[in-house]
Amino acid sequence: MPDKDETERRRDIKRQLRKKANLEFEQSLPVSREIFKNIFDFIDAHLSEEGCDDALKLTRKFLEENQIINTDEVVSWLQNNGGYCDCEVLYNVEEQFENTI
Ligand SMILES: [Zn+2]
């Protein structure tokens, strides 16, 4: 049974680890969090009518329409985070933004 100080110390370590993980996540983003949020909203708004083409059609469309210059970087970041098509971006990637901060 850890004493009070020990519990507090462990809690501190956990907090720091989470902070570090969040920071690393934040730093890995190729575009701002705000833009990602807009990507998710855009896919969400169009996916049901357009359907998923098993690629990042809507994502690419958004990036193009919003003149995001590092499209390739964003696409490979999404793929690295489990988003190989538009619906996967919503299912796998969006929640990672909700878990942080
Ligand atoms: Zn899909």
| 11 within some domain | no
Of residues 51, 60, 42, 54, the one with CA closest to residue 88: 54
Q: Write down the pLDDT at residue 58.
A: 97
The reported pLDDT for the residue numbered 1 is: 67
Question: In the predicted model, is pLDDT for residue 45 greater than 70?
Answer: yes
Residue 9 lies in a domain: no
> Could you tell me the pTM of the whole model?
0.83
Contacts of 40 (CB under 8 A, 6+ apart): 89, 90, 93, 94, 97
Q: What is the Cα–Cα distance from 4 to 82, expressed in whole angstroms?
A: 40
User: What mean pLDDT is predicted for residues 16-27?
Assistant: 93
Q: What is the mean pLDDT of residues 64-74?
A: 97
Confidence of residue 87 (pLDDT cuts 50, 70, 90): very high
Taking the C-alpha atoms of residue 98 and residue 36, their distance in angstroms, rounded to an integer, is 12
Question: What is the distance in A from the centroid of ligand 1 to the CA of 62?
Answer: 16
Q: Are 59 and 78 in contact, with CB atoms under 8 Å apart?
A: yes
In a domain, 55, yes or no: yes
Is residue 10 in some structural domain? no
Rounded distance from Cα 75 to ligand 1 centre (Å): 14
34 belongs to a structural domain: yes
Average pLDDT over all residues of the chain:
94
- Would you place residue 20 in the very low, low, confident or very high pLDDT band (cuts 50, 70, 90)? very high
Question: How many domains would you assign to the chain?
Answer: 1
Residue 22 lies in a domain: no
Q: Ligand 1: distance of its center to the CA of 81 in Å?
A: 14
